[in-house]
Structures are given as structure tokens and as C-alpha cells.
Structure 1
Amino acid sequence: MDGPNSLLLAVIGVTLMLAGYFLYSKFLAKKVYKVNAEFKTPAHQFDDGVDFVPTNRYILWGHHFTSVAGAAPIVGPAIAVIWGWLPAVLWVTIGTVFIAGMHDFGALWSSTRNKGQSIGTLSGRYIGPRGRNLFLVVVFLLLLMVVAAFAVVISGLLVAQPGAVIPTWGALIVAVLVGQAIYRLRWNLLAVTLTGVAALYALIILGDRFPVELPEQVLGMTPEGFWIVALFVYAGIASLLPVWVLLQPRDFINGIQLFIGLIIVYGAVLIATPTVVAPAFNQNVPEGTPSLVPLLFVTIACGAISGFHGTVATGTTSKQLDRETDARFVGYFGAVGEGLLALGAIIATTAGFQTLAQWEEVYESFGSGGVPAFVEGGANIVNTGLGIPAGLSATILATMAVLFAATTMDTGVRLMRFVVQEIGELAKVRINIIAATAVVLVIGVALTFSQGADGSGGMLIWPLFGTTNQLLAALTMSIIVVMLIRKGRPFLPVLIPMVFVLVMSIYAALVQLVSFFRDAEWLLLSIDVVIIVAAVWVLVEAVIAMGQAHRGAKEPEDDVALSDDEKLPLDR
């Protein structure tokens, strides 16, 4: 029996996500978060030109979106379709509209209302000092998983797709020039954007013509090992630079590039209308595949709901928000962009193959598929629909995946630096930004090369990412609930998704715990126990805080208005 036309999935998914932005996010903005355009944001209050920088909302959206997107909204859906396309599509669309958008918007709002403080610091204020300490443990472990694993993913793609090497590193030069043009020279944003994107795609074409393949040994390292070291060095430098120099412009250009990439993929689907060959519900999953419930809800994290987004929203994005009302566009629409990427990954990996048998060859075991399946299936669709050569199509998609993984990696290093400094504050030890960054790089490199010169150690604790990420999302929502109760706001739109995500995440963590014990994976088992205990403890503290907030007096609103000089020219 033939599957549905992939165009139908695309139309339904895109329509639901856009409806979420234009309808549900407005409800959240007016009734729940009650954002105020006149509120003095931390970017204006603490403007230092390094971390706190008032930023045009379109540029900030690009920075936020590409920082949170990474490879995860491709990897998760591209693995989860092994259970069938329907569960994946439902979780991505419903999750984006009612959970991810609300979570990202809320995390950004909560930090903006608290001087740009991180989610770890907010947990101390709204849950208590014990909750903060345990929260920081969960955040640090999650960021370590992201930084190490993404270094491995990127290096693997650069070796497998040598055509992506030139655009990956050339994009950094383009980003620095874009930053100078916008902030130093004050050139027109549209003109700079068009020029930057054109340069990026010229690099993609150049990379496809002149692929860079490294020899078997580079400075005594394998090609994978060399790229991993280069990526950590880059991420360390990028995390120390003022955000406007590299992170903001690079993420902005990458954000535009991703949407162009999505337009290419969805445009190819519109023209080619390929049939979905994968089953709606896979009744013939490979041996060893875990049950759909609860593993689906942690396998697809980014693209449906992700705790990592809260660390980005409260760690870097809130420090750059020009107006509080921009949080809806930056936070909620950023989640919509990631949902569209996840939906595109589902379509590419279920309709990008000719037959069910061909699809089953790719998905021969749980964990197979991933980015290679996205690149292969997506390239087939783009080649058929738009006539772009398969090799160039693969380079475009591989470059898209690499650039987004790289933006998440360097943002992750910056966020880990913040966490290390917070931990230092708790221990009454002042750690400057260079020392904190050095600590992060040493730990990240040590983990990545702990299993050999190929850097495979970076994936060592990755199996815990899904559950840790979703538990962090639930804990972030618990802080938002406490804030809303204290302010006398409606809190059920946050509390109900929080409970669902929490139950599924703890259920999945317990399932994994049994699996690790059975397979004698003692390191993973130990870390899983630490994460479960920390999460449950924080949850108990959060429930107590909710009860106290419900019984206590309501907080007055802190609506400090912008002065006339701080407003954008169009707002004066």
C-alpha cells in the first residue's frame, strides 16, 4: 500500500506551525507573559558591548535560532522515523505549537524580567539554593554532551562531505565582514544580508567544485581528530569575542541560509511531490528497537521541545533583547523555525527513497539514519524536484547541517563558561572568562578523545542527551510556573505541558537505566542516576515553591520603561 504524498504532510505541518505563531503565541504574549514594549531590557540596562548588546530583532532571531537548532532537529527526527512517520509528525507539530514555542518564549521572558540571569540563577531565586546547585549539575552535563557530540558530528560530516569544508570555514570570514558592515559601517541591513547570503552560497558552489580531503595523518592526528581540535579552538575563540563580532552576524546569515535551504527542500517537495515510502506505524521494527512510548518523546527533543533552548534563551539571547515584545518573535518563532527543520528532516528521510525496501536498508537498526539519511534522502528530493545535481544538493544539505551544529557548539562553549563561573561564585572563587573557557575546553577535549584518537569519546554520554534535555525543559517550565503564580498570571498553559514532558522524561530515564544495567554500561548508568536524582530533587523543590507562591502575596510588576534615548528611532 502506497503512503501519503509528502506534500500533504508539508502543507499540514507548516500550516499548523504558522497558526501557532500567529494565534497561540499572541495569546501567550497578551494573557500569560504580558510583554511590555516599554520595559527596560537587560541589554539596555547593562549594555557593555560584549555580552549585553541591544540587537535588531531579526539579527537576534538569527543568532538565537541557529544557536538552538544545531544538528539535533535533524538527528532526532531522522532516527525516530524508525517507529513510522505519523508519530514523528504528530509530536513535532503539536510539540512545536503548544510546548516548544511556549517554553522558549517563556524562558526568554523570565530571564529578561530578571536582569538577563541564566536559568541556573533563576532556579536559585524561584526554587531555592539547593535547587540551583542541582540545576547547574544538569545544565553542565547537558552542555558537555552537546559540545562533545557536535564536535564529532561536524568532523564526521567534513570527512564524509569534503565539499562542505570551504563553505564551513569560509562562512566565518563572511560573518566577521557582515558584523563590521552592520555595527561599524552602519550599512543597510537588507543589502548586507543579501550580499552575505550570496557570498555564502558562492562558497558552497566553490566547495562543491574543490572538495578538501585531508590525508590519513595530519599533525599526527586522523582527519576526524584534526577537525575536532580545530573546532574546539574555534569555539573557544568565538566564545570570548564580543557577540556582535562573530556570533550574531554568523548566526544571522546562517539563519537566512537555513530558511533558503528549507525553501529549497519544501520547494522540491512541492514540485516532485514524492510519496512517503516509510510506514505510518512501523510494525516491523528491527530487533532491539525500544518501545515508542516513552522513547519517541526524548529521541525527538529539538524540533518538539528542548531544554537546551532555555539555556540559550537565558544565557545569551536575553542579554541582547532590544524590546521585551521582541521575545515573541525571537523565542516562539525561533521554535517554529526549528519545527520546520524537523518536519523537513522527517519528509527527507521517509520520502527521499524509492522503495520501502531501500528505506529499510538504511533503517536496519535503532540509531541508524540520522544526518546521513537526511542528506541522502533530501538530496534525492532536491535533485528530482529542482534538477540540482545530486552532489551539489548533498553539499548544500551537509553544509547546512555543519553550520548549524557549529553555531550550537560555540554557543554551548560560551554557556558552559557561564556555568563554570556560576559554580565558582557558589564556591566563592572568582573565575575570569579566560580561565573558565580553558576549563571548558580541557573537559570537552578530554571527553572527546577519551576513547581514542578518532574522537569517538564525544559520543560516549550522548545516549543520555534526550532524557537530560527533556528533564531540563520540564524543570525550566517549573520555574516559569512559579513566576506566573507569583505574578497572579494564568499558569496552566505552562503547567500542563510541564507535567507531560516530565512524566515522559523520567519514564524514559528509568527505561534507559534498566538498559544500561543490563548491558553493564556503568558510566552511563551512574550519570543517569545522578541526573534522575537531581531532576526529582529540583522537582520537589519546585512543587514546594509553587505552593508557597500560591499562598503568598503577589509580586508587583517591575515595568521600568526605556528612556527616549534608548528607544529605536522608529519607536520614539
Structure 2
Amino acid sequence: MSAIIILVLGLAAMAAGYFLYSKFIAEKVYRLDPDYTTPAHEYEDGVDFVPTNRYVLWGHHFTSVAGAAPIVGPAIAVIWGWLPAFLWVIFGTIFFAGIHDAGAIWASVRNKARSVGALTGDVVGKRARSIFMIVIFLVLLMVNAVFAVVIASLMMDFSSAVVPVWGAILVALVIGQMIYRRKMSLPVVSIIGVVALYALIFIGPSVPIQMPEEVGGMAGNAVWILILFGYAAIASLLPVWVLLQPRDYINGLQLFIGLIVLYGAILLLNPDLVAPMINSDVPAGTPPIFPLLFVTIACGAISGFHGLVSSGTTSKQLDKETDARFVGYFGAVGEGMLALAAILAATAGFATFADWQAMYTDFGAGGVTAFVEGGAYMIHHGLGLPEATAATLLTVMAALFAGTTMDTGLRLQRYIFQEWGEIYHQPWMKKPATATLLAVGSCLLLAFGAGGPDGSGGMIIWPLFGTTNQLLAGLTLLVVTVMLVRLRRPMWFTLVPLCFLLVMTIGALLLQLRSFYDQGNYFLLIVDIVVLIAAILVAMECAQALKRARTEMGKQL
């Protein structure tokens, strides 16, 4: 089948979802109020609470949630065939991710911009809050530790990407000054930023920087990991307008340009999908498609991490409540577009079916490598851009997204420690510097304590990211659903995705439990049991919280 058909159908469906479905959700379900005073105005402090132009905030939200996961997940899941991955990305974006992200922003804004984990205690109950905070911590620990490994590996493997990746930080610092200090026009600033960013991408191959395989007795990638966490610690303490916002905004523009280039190459090349629609001959050891598809593709369909960003940083910067539709729902659409690009690159970016099979020799193969190589192949043959340059462009895209997610993730982890300090009355934990040290320390403990001297410890628990992440999405939808019930508003639009996620998550955890036992991987077995117990408790809390909310509503009538 022609990749153009899939591209057009996917983009048309997501456009309809934004213009029609999200409008209905915003007006009839969440009832967003343009006159509501948002926390960004009520608590404006110039550091975390900053009223922000919705386009700039969209850039922050989108690139914070669109890390490497919407590339990795879909590019792995096509091993079952391109159709299941395509359908889950499209329907997940429209009916799951969009209302999840916008709902998390709305819920947080209506509760003083508290994180969804903290406000769970008020909306659902203290037991649910305890479960939520543990799950949140696990997800952030996985994301930060793993994305550090991903970025370090990309810079070790693609030395041409080092200058663009680090140069983007300098560009972002300048952009922040232009927007907030110089008050320059946003379109002008955008053009300057994009030109500078792409100039760095083209300069990168001419100025490769290769980290030695060993530095002072440490592996080169381990050195990069330490540098990345040092940078992320500083970034998490800076005011959001100095680095976080402009870095995310300019990366958002970079992604759309990258998508236009990739989609344009598809339109000109008109490649066929060499992968099967449904793959009935999967490699030995590949788990069943149900329910694993729905946790393998998390980001790009629905992701609990989005709820952390929505309620952790985005809600503190929302200028008007009505901006939640554009920032949250359209942010999810943007990630769906990236996931669609990953599916096309991983299925139409190979010359033959045999080439595709050579990439997908076992479950877990593909990922970023399939995206970069497949995308570079199409850009080279469709647009004539040198394949090495195209590969650098896509590598930098993946690295920058992983970097912006790590920036936001560490800031969120700092917030979690501060909220724990608030909940358990520990003033020392509420200090930003102390909380940041605790966040970095926990990530490094996992990276080097579990992974050894190469710092790859995050990869050990990564197999449980999908299930833990989807459990977190279910918890977020639970909070939103209970709020809707108490406000006497339609709840089915969030309740149905909530129930679906819980069923799929519990099913996936049970399958993985057997797999870890058969492998003799007792560490993951224990973690899986912990997450499974949390999932069951969440399901019970769902039933009890909804029953209480409906009872309270009945008493008020």
C-alpha cells in the first residue's frame, strides 16, 4: 500500500479530532472559561508561574511530552504489522490523549496549579494519592534515567549531532531574552531561532565532536550522562522563561519543519509500505499483540507522563483557561503526528521487505534506529538531501526531544520532592536546591547503582515503563472523571478511556509477570508485582471514588 494514503488518512482524522471533537469536549464537558483567573496570573512569580503566549506554551508542552517515546514505541510496535500501530495512534490521539492532556491542565488550573498527584488526595482520597505519588516517582525515574542514556548513546554514535544538540541550548537562551527582555515580535524571533538551529544542524557534520571511549577510567557515554544531569539540574532551577520555554518552543518549530520535510519526501517519493499490514510471522519470543500493543505505544496514543507535564509545568503558565484546548489537545495531536511519522519511516523507509525483516529480528528491535535510517532513506531519495545530512537532522530531532523531556522531567521530579515535603511536613525537602539534588541523586543511583560504570541502569526497568506509564494515565483520568461527576457534567468521555487503560494495563502486567519469571529476572518480577498491586488498588479506588461522588451528587439534589 502507498504510504501517501496512510499519511493523508492519518492527518485528516487528527485534524477532524481537533477541530470537531476537542471543541465539543472544551465547550460541553470541561466548559473552559476565558474569564477564569488562572494560577499563572494569581500566583505570578517570574520563575514557575508565568502567564505565557499560548503558542510559546504549546511549544513547551508539546516538546516536553514528545520525547523519544513517540518515536521508539510506534517504531517497535510495527513488528505486529503497520495497521494495528496506525489505528491505535490515530484513535488513541483523538479519543484518549487529547482529552487526557487537556483534562489534566483543566483539573490542575482549577486547583491552584497543583500536580495531579497532589490533588488526588482531595479529589479521590489519601490512599489514591499515596499510590499516585509512588507511580509518578517511578515514571519520572524511568524517563530521566533512560533519556539520559538515549541522548548519550546518540552523541556517542553520531558525533555530528553534538554541536547542534548543545548549540540549541545557546539558541534558546538568546530566544528567551528576545521574547521577555527585548519584547521582540514572536514571528521574527521564531525565524531567527529556526535559522540558527538549522544552521547548527548543517554545521554539525563539519565539526564532529567525539567523546573518547574512556575518560579518566569512565566510559564515554557515562561521562555524557553525568554532564547531562549536571545541565538538567541547572535548567530545572532557572526561571521557565530563561531556558525551558524558549528551548521547548524552538524545538516545537523544529519538529514541524522536520515533519514537513519527512512528509514532503513521502509525497514526492510515494514509497510503499514494505512491512505487512498484519504480521503473522513475528520473530520467536514476540509477545501477543493484545494487550501489549497498548503499552508498547504509550506516547503517541496516550501517556501518563503527559498528565505530569500538564499539571506540573503547563498549568502554571496558562494565560487563559480556554488555551488548554490548544495547548493540551493540539499538543497531543502534534505527538500523534510524530508517532505517525515514526510508523511510516519504520515501514516505508526500507527498499524491500527483506531489508525490513533484517531490522526487525526480535521484539524490541527498530526504535530510533529504524526511524533515523528509514526517514533518512526517504528524505534522500525523495528530496535529494545527502543521506548523512538527513540522518543528522533526524538524530538531532530525536536527541533534542529527549533533552527537552529530560529538562521538564527533572523539574517535575523536583516538584514531587517538594510536594512530599509539604505533605509530610519536612521543610528541608521543600527547598528547590535540596529537592533538585534529591531528584538528580535518585536518577544517578538508578543509572550507576543498577547499571554499573556505564550508567545504563535506567534501561533495566525500562520494560515496565509502558505499563507504569499507562497506569499513571488511568489515575489522571480518574481524577478528571471524579471532578466531572461532582460538577454534574458528562463523564463517559473520560470514564471509557479510563476503564480501557486499566484493563489493558493489568493484562499486560500479568503477561510480563510470567515472562520475567520464566527469564529468572527477579528484580523486574518484584517491580512488576508492585505495579500490578498498584493497578488493582487503582481499579478499586476508581470504583469507590466514583460511587462516593455519585452518592454526594444524589444527596445534593
Same fold, TM-score > 0.5, yes or no: yes
Match of 1:454 in 2: 454
**Shift in Å, 1:397:** 0.1
Equivalent residue runs for 1:49-64 within 5 Å:
49-64=46-61
Whole-angstrom distance in 1 between the partners of 2:528 and 2:407: 25
8 Å CA contact 2:149–2:456 kept in 1: the answer is yes
Match of 2:546 in 1: 546
**Shift in Å, 1:221:** 2.0
* Residue 422 (structure 1) aligned with residue 458 (structure 2): no
Cα deviation 1:126-164 (Å, max 9, x = unaligned): 111111111100000010000001011111111111111
* Residue 332 (structure 1) aligned with residue 326 (structure 2): no
Query: How does the TM-score come out when normalised to structure 2?
Result: 0.98
Whole-angstrom distance in 1 between the partners of 2:538 and 2:279: 37
Match of 1:163 in 2: 160
8 Å CA contact 1:135–1:535 kept in 2: the answer is no
Match of 2:301 in 1: 304
Query: How does the TM-score come out when normalised to structure 1?
Result: 0.95
Secondary structure at 2:279 match in 1: coil
Q: How many residues align?
A: 553
Secondary structure at 2:257 match in 1: helix
Cα deviation 1:5-24 (Å, max 9, x = unaligned): 00111000000001100000
Match of 1:550, as an amino acid?
Answer: R
8 Å CA contact 2:285–2:363 kept in 1: the answer is yes
Secondary structure at 1:117 match in 2: coil
**Shift in Å, 1:527:** 1.2
* Residue 434 (structure 1) aligned with residue 433 (structure 2): yes
Match of 1:440, as an amino acid?
Answer: A
Cα deviation 1:292-324 (Å, max 9, x = unaligned): 000000000000000000000000000000000
8 Å CA contact 1:487–1:554 kept in 2: the answer is no
Equivalent residue runs for 1:135-284 within 5 Å:
135-284=132-281
8 Å CA contact 2:502–2:539 kept in 1: the answer is no
Match of 1:560 in 2: none
Which has the larger displacement, 519-528 or 63-72?
519-528
8 Å CA contact 2:113–2:315 kept in 1: the answer is yes
Match of 2:474 in 1: 474
Whole-angstrom distance in 2 between the partners of 1:499 and 1:542: 9
Match of 1:486 in 2: 486
Equivalent residue runs for 1:484-523 within 5 Å:
484-523=484-523
Match of 1:369 in 2: 366
Whole-angstrom distance in 1 between the partners of 2:91 and 2:131: 30
* Residue 123 (structure 1) aligned with residue 136 (structure 2): no
Secondary structure at 1:357 match in 2: helix
Gaps of 5+ in 1: 557-572
- Across the aligned residues of Structure 1 and Structure 2, the Cα RMSD in angstroms comes to 1.1
Match of 1:28 in 2: 25
Secondary structure at 1:511 match in 2: helix
Which has the larger displacement, 13-22 or 509-518?
509-518
Which has the larger displacement, 429-438 or 53-62?
429-438
**Shift in Å, 1:555:** 12
**Shift in Å, 1:425:** 2.4
Whole-angstrom distance in 2 between the partners of 1:419 and 1:219: 34
**Shift in Å, 1:219:** 3.6
Whole-angstrom distance in 1 between the partners of 2:308 and 2:102: 12
**Shift in Å, 1:458:** 1.9
Whole-angstrom distance in 2 between the partners of 1:89 and 1:208: 34
8 Å CA contact 1:307–1:471 kept in 2: the answer is yes
Secondary structure at 1:449 match in 2: helix
**Shift in Å, 1:554:** 8.4
Whole-angstrom distance in 2 between the partners of 1:493 and 1:272: 40
Match of 1:569 in 2: none
| 2:320 aligns with one of 319, 323, 327 | 323
8 Å CA contact 1:168–1:399 kept in 2: the answer is yes
Match of 1:447, as an amino acid?
Answer: L
Whole-angstrom distance in 1 between the partners of 2:540 and 2:368: 38
